[in-house]
Amino acid sequence: MAARDAGRDRDAEVLVAGGGMVGLAFAIALAEAGVEVVVVDRLDPAQQRDEANDGRSSAIARGSQQALAVLGLWDGMAPAAAPIIDIRISDGLPYPSGLRPRRPGGSSALHLHFASAEVAEEDDARPHHRPLGYIVENTAIKRASLDRARAVTAIDPAKLDLRAPADIAELQRRPGGVTARLSDGSTIRARLVVAADGRRSATREAAGIRIMEIDYGQTAIVATVAHELPHDGVAHEHFLPSGPFALLPMTDAKDDAGKVVHRSSLVWTEKRGLIAAMMALDEDAFALELQRRFGNSLGQLSLWGGRRWSYPLTLLHAERYIDTRLALIGDAAHGIHPIAGQGLNLGLRDVAALAECIVDARRLGLDIGSATVLERYQRWRRLDTMALIAATDSLNRLFSNDLPPVRLLRDLGLAAVNRMPPLKRFFMRHAMGLVGDLPRLVKGEAL
Ligand SMILES: Cc1cc2nc3c(=O)[nH]c(=O)nc-3n(C[C@H](O)[C@H](O)[C@H](O)COP(=O)(O)OP(=O)(O)OC[C@H]3O[C@@H](n4cnc5c(N)ncnc54)[C@H](O)[C@@H]3O)c2cc1C
């Protein structure tokens, strides 16, 4: 795909900078609706497909899964998707004053329990077949997206044109349109450029859009963990003073001897100062630390594949999502704390909303890159994003500390929510991405 079109000048309707999980989903959404798109990514697709490039798994909310299904992306990643049946949240440490007893054998008392059966529709006879969401390896999402992009290109090469590896060497945005010169020497003209080039978006910076960024002073260590006992679809989140510690259900795999291995994805947040030492631990010592934090409920834990990755955590929000013939989507617009596993889900809601604004405008014969279209997108997305920024930021601040009065209050709060089914349902439907002014794709409808 890349080799055939490299170096070819062309006119398209939309140019997408960045073909990561968000950029490619957006390009596929537009191409499927008949809009001509060029996507530029600086990574070779072979690198995107390589597990070594990204060790994370993503929690995919029900709304995002519905959008991915409409775009024909879900089938490709479904074999790698583990359903989340239950979420168990606990405050990680015992009380010094014995205010509350510890559970026997566990590291902490259970405070909040979300079960898929609690949000099942009234006529849903098999609630366990309607999970709260799914955990999917990022590499599986990227592979499914690249495969789908290739299939769409095969049907009509003009609709989806992926240029990778390539960079935008020069970008001119004028009231009448956009002209980009790519690093392969070709020139692309379009009505609109969409920045999906991640947190350090060069497209956003070149447009002079400022960002608000707050360093959490925390880093997330990510790894795949093998465990003796099955996880039964339970996602565990322990709030520890240094940050959240999550073990999220993944699909089983087979080891070299063909034996089934149960796996979960670890996201272990720690104060940044400790990270170098933790990353330097050998595999056995790391597994021992892990076991100490998590306890024995899944039997013995070990590292699967032997690898660990680390991601410094900051909160980032662009002061605006649009400029002349430019829109920001995904992490280029906002990067949030992974405490609630919502960053990619936010990005996929951007995809659905911007694609809908563009397709609606095009059907009416309007200019798809006009300020009116872009303002509709910005109005639609900023509120949802700001609400999630506030929620994830305050959750992290509330739980990443060890002050006894704060802990008592937050635990009373968790226990209270746990005893109020309607409130629990409200939180769960939010986390599932099923609340608010939802774009058609998120509702499972075609563009
Ligand atoms: C530890 C951790 C755990 C997380 N867990 C979850 C979770 O469970 N659920 C969830 O919803 N979210 C989660 N997130 C957030 C999620 O990973 C991000 O929101 C998501 O990766 C953003 O995707 P993106 O495509 O916008 O950006 P990126 O993934 O950063 O992709 C950007 C793309 O642009 C390309 N690019 C960059 N610069 C250029 C350039 N100049 N020219 C051309 N191409 C360029 C890159 O090669 C890349 O392919 C987590 C994040 C972290 C750190």
- 22-47 confidence digits (pLDDT tens): 999 999 999 999 999 999 999 999 99
The residue whose CB lies within 8 Å of the most ligand 1 atoms, and thus the one to mutate among 43, 58, 136, 267, is 58
pLDDT of residue 352: 98
The residue whose CB lies within 8 Å of the most ligand 1 atoms, and thus the one to mutate among 15, 28, 53, 56, is 56
pLDDT in tens, 230-276: 999 999 988 888 888 999 999 999 999 999 999 999 999 999 999 99
Domain holding 339: CATH number? 3.50.50.60
Q: Ligand 1 pocket, 24 CB below 6 A?
A: no
The closest residue, in CA terms, to atom 11 on ligand 1 is 344
Summarize the confidence of residues 156-169 as an average pLDDT.
96
Angle of helix 404-418 versus helix 421-431 axis, rounded to 10 = 100
Q: Ligand 1 pocket, 20 CB below 6 A?
A: yes
Would you say residue 408 has pLDDT above 80?
A: no
- Cross-strand pairs, 192: 14
pLDDT of residue 101: 39
Residue 417 counted as domain residue:
no
Q: Ligand 1 pocket, 184 CB below 6 A?
A: no
The range of the structural domain enclosing residue 21 comes to 2-73+137-213+315-394
Residue 85 CB neighbour total at 10 angstroms: 21
When pLDDT is cut at 50, 70 and 90, the band that residue 340 belongs to is confident
Which range is least confidently modeled, 9-18, 61-70, 95-104, 317-326?
95-104
pLDDT in tens, 172-192: 999 999 999 999 999 999 999
Tell me what the pLDDT averaged over the chain comes to: 88
Residue 158 counted as domain residue:
yes
Query: How much is the pTM?
Result: 0.91
Summarize the confidence of residues 116-133 as an average pLDDT.
65
How many separate domains does the chain show?
Answer: 1
Summarize the confidence of residues 356-385 as an average pLDDT.
96
Question: Which ligand 1 atom sits closest to the C-alpha of 248?
Answer: 8
Question: Which ligand 1 atom sits closest to the C-alpha of 222?
Answer: 1
Would you say residue 299 has pLDDT above 90?
A: yes
The closest residue, in CA terms, to atom 2 on ligand 1 is 338
Summarize the confidence of residues 81-88 as an average pLDDT.
93
CA end-to-end span of the chain: 26
What spacing in Å lies between the alpha carbon of 136 and ligand 1's midpoint? 14
Q: Ligand 1 pocket, 42 CB below 6 A?
A: yes
Q: Ligand 1 pocket, 108 CB below 6 A?
A: no
Residue 224 counted as domain residue:
no
Pick the more confident residue, 410 or 44.
44
**Cα 147 vs. chain centroid, distance in angstroms?**
19
Pick the more confident residue, 378 or 432.
378
**Cβ–Cβ under 8 Å, residues 58 and 430:** no
Residue 81 counted as domain residue:
no
